[in-house]
Copies of this chain bind each other. A is one copy, B any other.
Amino acid sequence: MTSPSTDEPVPASRAEALELDARDPLAPLREQFELPEGIVYLDGNSLGVLPKAAPARLARVLRQEWGAQLIRSWNAAGWLDLPARVGDKIARLIGAGPGEVVAADSTSVNLYKVLSAAAGLQRSDAPERRVVVSERTNFPTDLYVAASLCRERDWRLELVETADLPARLARGDDVAILLLTHVNYRTGWMHDLAGMTAAAHECGALAIWDLAHSAGAVPVDLRETGADFAVGCGYKYLNGGPGAPAFVWAAPRHAAHARQPLSGWMGHAAPFRFAPEYEPADGVARFLCGTPPVLSMAALECGVDTVLAAEPLGGMKALRARSLRLTGAFTALVDRHAAAWALRVVSPREPERRGSQVCLVHDAPGGHGYAIVQALIARGVVGDFRAGEPGPPPCPDILRFGFSPLYTRFVDVWDAVERLAVVMASREYERERFRRRAAVT
């Protein structure tokens, strides 16, 4: 059976789901991970799972590199090269070249760097442009950092509805920077990266992309699309571990002269010369700042390697096809019960607009989204809940399910919907123990 809209296969039984998995050439990639027994983990878009290689790697970094070799390991164990080496590996996943990406700091800190760099470029080229345009539903921390940059420079951050972005850019004489997250963290909506970049450039703005929910999940071709800067997250689909370092990319045409203000010694042209004057490194290394957190970096490298392991099997293109089949099947299976459960799929159905997640809204009076997610977790299906925001247009409470093409299986899709069926049929989410709203889900 296939989904009517997309020709994606939809299992009609658990046996069929198992058969789809058995036939899948990407299925062995799951063996790279340590996964808890009996759990259907659909939250890899929040925290990716543990690569089997990570504990041994960390033990080696701790006992041999740090414990025994100590300070020598900066050279002998390649600690100094980690930001560039891991960056080069990430580059292969996002359509960037070697030497164009570094792993460093957090997504938020990196966003501040590239926003500052882009603002600096615009200040000299087009000082009259003082607006940063972003999306109202963009990830809040991106908006906080952009707002902060604007506050400092007496610029303005303008938040636009997704559908209104093209029109806003069409009258964009005042726009300095377009800042978007490629795949929206709430809705799963995926922007046309090339098209929106072109629209930004057409109006004279620079385009900055947050790839937090893209890297390792959907193909990105930064060079091809002509984007200006990008940042992304190491601990979601890259499986780099909790709070893993993030990454930053600068288009080669900007990397050699764009300046960012976090001018720490690791971004210096010659860090160990200890010169009193800052001289930024050639290329993207100038987006480094302080000493890299080696333990977290080593785990991130293990995580990135799990995605690179797909290269002989077709790489990001093959992973993307699998991701679409998984989200398509989940969508189709939920659709069948949508009316009975009052659950509505709100993530995009068109493959070209869909990230690697499916989002549901509970349309019953009051909405029991939080309680349903809790009841599912109690039954071993881990998704998450994102509270809505009041105000028009409505931004409802969301039940969010992430699908990692590296380890999520068709049988997980099947089991998740089966358990959702139990939760919805029994209305167990109405029980008191599921109804408390915690600050953190």
Q: State the A residues within 8 Å of B (CB).
A: 34, 36, 39, 41, 43, 46-47, 49-50, 54-55, 58-59, 62-63, 65-71, 73-75, 79-80, 105-109, 112, 136, 140-141, 143-145, 147-149, 151-152, 159, 235, 241-246, 261-265, 268, 270, 272-278, 289-297, 299, 382, 384, 386-387, 389, 438-441
Q: Which residues of B contact A294 (CB under 8 A)?
A: 241-243, 296
* Closest B residue to A239 using CB positions: B66
Q: Are B290 and A293 in contact (CB under 8 A)?
A: no
Q: Are A290 and B70 in contact (CB under 8 A)?
A: no
Interchain CA distance A105-B262 in the complex, whole Å: 12
Give the residue among A41, A58, A149, A268 with the most B Cβ atoms within 10 A.
A58
Given the interface pairs A106-B289, A289-B109, the reply to whether A66 lies near B276 with Cβ below 8 Å is no
Q: Are B246 and A290 in contact (CB under 8 A)?
A: yes
Q: Which residues of B contact A387 (CB under 8 A)?
A: 273-274
Closest Cβ of chain B to A356, distance in Å, is 16
Q: Which residues of B contact A243 (CB under 8 A)?
A: 79, 290-295, 297
* Closest B residue to A136 using CB positions: B276
Q: Are B47 and A70 in contact (CB under 8 A)?
A: yes
Q: Are B108 and A439 in contact (CB under 8 A)?
A: no
Give the residue among A75, A159, A244, A290 with the most B Cβ atoms within 10 A.
A290
* Closest B residue to A246 using CB positions: B290
Q: Can you pick out 16 interface pairs between chain A and chain B where the beta carbons lie within 8 Å of each other?
A: A36-B70, A47-B71, A47-B74, A50-B67, A59-B59, A70-B382, A105-B106, A109-B289, A140-B265, A144-B278, A147-B278, A148-B263, A241-B294, A243-B294, A270-B439, A295-B295
Give the residue among A68, A261, A273 with the most B Cβ atoms within 10 A.
A261
Q: A295 contacts which of B79, B145, B290, B299 (Cβ < 8 Å)?
A: B299
Q: Are B112 and A261 in contact (CB under 8 A)?
A: yes
Q: Are B71 and A34 in contact (CB under 8 A)?
A: no
Closest Cβ of chain B to A300, distance in Å, is 9
Give the residue among A46, A264, A268, A438 with the most B Cβ atoms within 10 A.
A264
Q: Are B265 and A108 in contact (CB under 8 A)?
A: yes
Q: A140 contacts which of B47, B246, B274 (Cβ < 8 Å)?
A: B274
Closest Cβ of chain B to A12, distance in Å, is 30
Interchain CA distance A290-B296 in the complex, whole Å: 14
Q: Are A109 and B264 in contact (CB under 8 A)?
A: yes
Please give me the 3 A-B residue pairs with the lowest Cβ-Cβ distance, nearest first: A106-B290, A108-B264, A242-B294
| 9 more A-B residue pairs beyond the given contacts A79-B243, A245-B293, A295-B299, with a C-beta to C-beta distance below 8 A | A47-B74, A58-B62, A62-B241, A109-B109, A143-B278, A149-B261, A243-B297, A244-B293, A293-B293
Q: Which residues of B contact A75 (CB under 8 A)?
A: 438, 440
Given the interface pairs A71-B47, A107-B290, A264-B108, the reply to whether A66 lies near B242 with Cβ below 8 Å is yes
Interchain CA distance A278-B106 in the complex, whole Å: 18
Q: Are A290 and B141 in contact (CB under 8 A)?
A: yes
Q: Are A148 and B278 in contact (CB under 8 A)?
A: yes
Given the interface pairs A75-B440, A109-B264, the reply to whether A242 lies near B147 with Cβ below 8 Å is no
Given the interface pairs A243-B291, A274-B386, A290-B141, the reply to whether A70 lies near B49 with Cβ below 8 Å is yes
* Closest B residue to A260 using CB positions: B148
Q: Which residues of B contact A144 (CB under 8 A)?
A: 263-265, 268, 278
Q: Which residues of B contact A242 (CB under 8 A)?
A: 65-66, 73-74, 79, 291, 293-295
Given the interface pairs A276-B159, A278-B148, the reply to whether A59 lies near B63 with Cβ below 8 Å is no
Q: Which residues of B contact A293 (CB under 8 A)?
A: 106, 242-245, 293, 295-296
Given the interface pairs A268-B144, A387-B273, the reply to whether A36 lies near B68 with Cβ below 8 Å is yes
